[in-house]
Structure 1
Amino acid sequence: MPPFMVSAPGKVIVYGEHAVVHGKAAIAASVNLRSYLHVTFLHKTDRTVSLRFPDISLEHTWNIDDLPWAAFAAPAKKKYYYDLVTSLDPDLVDAIEPHVLSVSPKVPEHVRKIHQSSAKAFLYLFLSLGSQRSPPCVYTLRSTIPIGAGLGSSASISTCLACALLLQIRALSGPHDDQPSEECALQVERINRWAFVGELCIHGNPSGVDNTVSCGGKAALFQRKDYSKPPSVQRLGDFPQLPLLLVNTKQSRSTAVEVAKVGTLKKAHPKIADHILSAINDITESVHALISQEGFDKDDPENLRQLGELAAINHGLLVSLGVSHPKLERIRALIDHAGLGWTKLTGAGGGGCAIVILKPLEDIRNGHHGPDVKEQNIKSAAKNPALVQLERQLEAEGFEKFETTLAGDGVGVLWPAVLHNASGEEGGEEIDQEKFLKAVGNDGIEKLVGVNAKSATSNMNGLSNGHTESREGWKFWRF
């Protein structure tokens, strides 16, 4: 069979982080930084399966016939592609443990932990959804999502693996352009259930919001009032696609430490902390009410301003909880000085990433911008001097900048892994494993897989508005 590819996005929490730990609501949205999985079929006499993840220097091969198929196929353990799995079976975890422990035994402990958690997710899914007759393959992963930055990279990878394995056993239909919305939703839920299993393998007790957003794209309203019960997850199909500036502080942080800070504050000052957490919840509910109202116009600058202002207020409340960081505040100060948008931390804080919702053109024209922006340059957005200066400052201070879009597509498929030519007919360039491995950086990966930046339109600040939505030959389940 020819090779094929699967892709899935990362995510950011746009409103409600930390409050969500205490039973409040949060909104998470996809970002068009994505993981890509390339599946190459080997000759049937080669009875091996390989996982290659060069971005983290992981490469391992297993003999298919040596894997514990009997344990996974036992009547009491057998799961089907449509099953809902909410916890890992300890007997099955024990069965794959020797095959997981054989991965990267000589690398440093912190690297080995990442490699083996990835291998655990892959093997659990491969053995649950496949069989001993599964074809020998090489599964090669590349990602444009910063790892360990709170952007849902593991959920994106789990989504890719689940989708690829379900496609191989023909448990999915589509995606195709005229597929009914209800059927698309069913296919995505099927992928989502198994992506969650991958997250269980990696994180132990995931919330489920990351894989839900990665599979379905767009955004989701998430709330978990009782940790003994499944969370409430409502898909927000009307959440607007917004051009976004995402800035990685490259400051390592611990989610557990930041969550504990809020817990300590709540014990010391329960009334005040509860008011802050409730105010964050009010922000999330205000956003939900805004985008849910009849006649909501995502292109109305006033609506964009409200979304941006609510994000900035949310950030201020998170600062009061003690979960920001000097590097995050430096990014916010630079953005505020340039006058280009509203900034907030995303995820646990204490480092990680900041997101910037970009201001509408009217604000720049009315003088709400940095002192170096001149009227004659507004018409030529790509040459916006404020943005150019900001990019230079961010780079000089060691930050990493990504231009992306909020609330885009979820999981997608390129089958076969051939880019179509300009007429839309097949017969273009095949993406083979060697080319995929040799692609350099995010730009190299995106260019190879058919992301077409040249077809983009630019927004008012010179950022490419949705260029990662133009993907040559790719198909998505949209509902």
Structure 2
Amino acid sequence: MESLKVDGPGRSGLAQRPLTQRKPSTPMMPAFMTSAPGKVIVYGEHAVVYGKAAMAAAISLRSYLLVTALTKSQRTITLRFPDIGMEHSWKIDHLPWSAFSHPSKKKYYYDLVDKLDPELVEVMQPHLSVVSPKASPADKKIHQNAASAFLYLLLSLGSKSFSGCIYTIRSTIPIGAGLGSSASISVCLSSAILLQLRTLSGPHPDQPPEEAELQIERINRWAFVGEMCIHGNPSGVDNTVATCGKAVVFKRGDYTSAPTVTPVRNFPELPLLLVNTRQSRSTATEVAKVASLRKTHSSIIEPILEAIDKITESAYHLVSSSAFDSKKSGSVQKLGDLMKINHGLLAALGVSHPKLERIRELVESLDLGWTKLTGAGGGGSAIALLNSNATPSSLQGLQRQLDNEGFEKYQTTLGGDGVGVLWPAVLRSGSEDEGGEEIDQENFLNAKGIEGVEMLVGVGLGASEKREGWKFWSNVGPHVDDEGRQEYTSG
């Protein structure tokens, strides 16, 4: 397999110099970036708990990871996550490499890991307990979970000979809102470490589809390991969407076997309004509420769950049909109608909330689109598929109303790119002769808010310039998108 080629200083001169006169060369890896999207559940919440299908899709809110190599003498690994106020450094030589490299424990980049090794989790604890010692208990848990995913991946895949690096994460995805922020970060970490190992050779124009598919699978497998570190028993949906992009149909089954995940390769890119109620909610509480109703009123609740399953199935067949055209209002109307019906059924299960209903009322009163809750409900977020009547002035009016009532709005798109890489971390505008803008630690850390990050990295709705350099794996075949980014098939 051809690996990513990293050219170091003085490479051409080495060939002419006699071996006895060569000086030790320590070429540094160029700074590079990886990126992966968040996700929303479009159809099928709660029904999925009972073996029904659900559909999840990528959104254009994303996480970004900048990896910067240090000099050979700097034997430290640093994880920075300024959006949550976290930064910690570890001495490479003090990490428990021997435990992870023991013949009975060692895992390789091509392995399938479906559970964490409790002994390896235990041996990491002294290196996690020192992370953010002065933070509040809630923040400390978030920081140490992120550090756990990072260290487990680094120690499993890397080695003590790894050079010192700074890993800096910026995310435009609201954290703890059910939008797959942790999975997005796990995909960024997984793809970055695999790139450092030179086990990924893409995406590139001549890459065979089978090879691209294999690489996406490797990224996804190890991202799932990161998710296990954070969540214990994740479904696998979030990291799959963050890796592959577009959308997937997910079916859990009887919990004794792996869930089935079907990529929706033709899912269209659609304008979406995401509104955070800022109302805290407990997924466990909402799931228990439906379980209680189902137990008490089985003959009523079972048909509702079956109807939600039919909605997911109908949406899958709709977007997979050759007759579907996202530029025609009739096609979008059908998707919107399914969202509206799905929300009504979820409300009948008792998992809506007055704030979610208020968002639905505001969007529909202005005839802007079709609204439903996304995720567990009881608060959290709502999504609205926008129709062709959604003019800038009407959206601004909605923005004012949402602001006045304490909601948080994100204008995004549904069904976009999955994992991507910018190697090296240089963006170009125009021809190669014009050079490019390097993304370094300083300007990455100083980027302000979602718009600042998106403008800097050249991805997302905030990236108004046409910036070249990013490459994305895709399930839909090679093409150049409207932003000048090229995508390649994963099979």
Answer yes or no: same fold by TM over 0.5. Answer: yes
* Structure 2 equivalent of residue 410 of structure 1: 418
SS in 1 for 2:200: coil
Letter of the 1:113 counterpart: K
Cross-structure match for 1:400: 408
- 8 Å Cα contact 2:458-2:465 kept in structure 1: no
Counterpart of 1:198 (choices 226, 236, 246) is 226
- Does structure 2 conserve the Cα–Cα contact (< 8 Å) formed by 1:176 and 1:477? no
Q: Paired residue for 1:185? A: 213
> In the alignment, is residue 442 of structure 1 matched against residue 456 of structure 2?
no
Query: Any residues of structure 2 matched to 1:68-467 within 5 Å, and which?
Result: 68-359=96-387, 361=388, 364=389, 381=391, 384-424=392-432, 427-451=435-459, 452-453=463-464
Contact 1:450 1:472 in 2 (8 A): no
* TM-superposed deviation, 1:454: 5.0
Measure how far apart 1:421 and its partner are: 2.9
What does residue 54 of structure 2 align with? 26
Aligned to 1:8: 36
In the alignment, is the contact (CA less than 8 A) between 1:245 and 1:401 conserved in 2? Answer: yes
Distance 1:105 1:353, change over 3 A: same
Q: 1:420 to 1:472 in 2, by over 3 A?
A: farther
CA deviation profile, 1:56-104 (whole Å, cap 9, x unmatched): 0010000111111111101111111011100001111011111111111
Shift of 1:258: 1.1
SS of alignment partner, residue 150 of structure 2: helix
Identify the residue that residue 477 of structure 2 maps to in structure 1: none
Mapped contact 2:62–2:171 kept (Cα < 8 A): yes
The unaligned stretches of length 5 or more in structure 2 are: 1-28, 468-480
TM-score by length of 2: 0.88
SS of the residue 1:94 aligns to: helix
Deviation for aligned residue 1:279: 0.7
Return the alpha-carbon distance in structure 2 between the equivalents of residues 100 and 477 of structure 1: 38
* Contact 1:48–1:64 under 8 Å retained in 2: yes
CA spacing shift, 1:317–1:471, aligned 2, 3 Å: same
- Structure 1 runs not aligned, ≥5 long: 370-380, 457-468
Aligned length: 447
DSSP-derived class of the 1:135 partner: coil
Look up the equivalent residue of 2:34 and give its one-letter code. Answer: V
SS of 1:329 mapped into structure 2: helix
Residue 414 of structure 1 contacts residue 475 of structure 1 at CA under 8 Å; is this kept in 2?
no
Identity fraction in percent: 63
RMSD: 1.7
Letter in 2 for 1:192: N
User: How far did residue 471 of structure 1 move?
Assistant: 5.5
Shift of 1:22: 1.0
Contact 1:20 1:224 (8 Å CA) reproduced: yes
After superposition, the Cα gap between the structure-2 partners of 1:246 and 1:232, relative to the gap in structure 1 and judged at 3 Å, is same
What displacement does 1:350 show? 1.1
Summarize the Cα distance change of 1:470–1:157 in structure 2 as closer, same or farther, 3 Å threshold.
farther
Distance apart, 1:425 and its partner CA:
5.5
For 2:161 and 2:122, the matched residues in 1 are separated by 22
Instruction: Measure the CA separation in 2 of the matches of 1:424 and 1:177.
Output: 18
Query: Could you tell me which residue of structure 2 aligns to residue 377 of structure 1?
Result: none
CA distance in structure 1 between the partners assigned to 2:31 and 2:396 by the alignment: 40
Equivalent AA in structure 2 for residue 393 of structure 1: Q
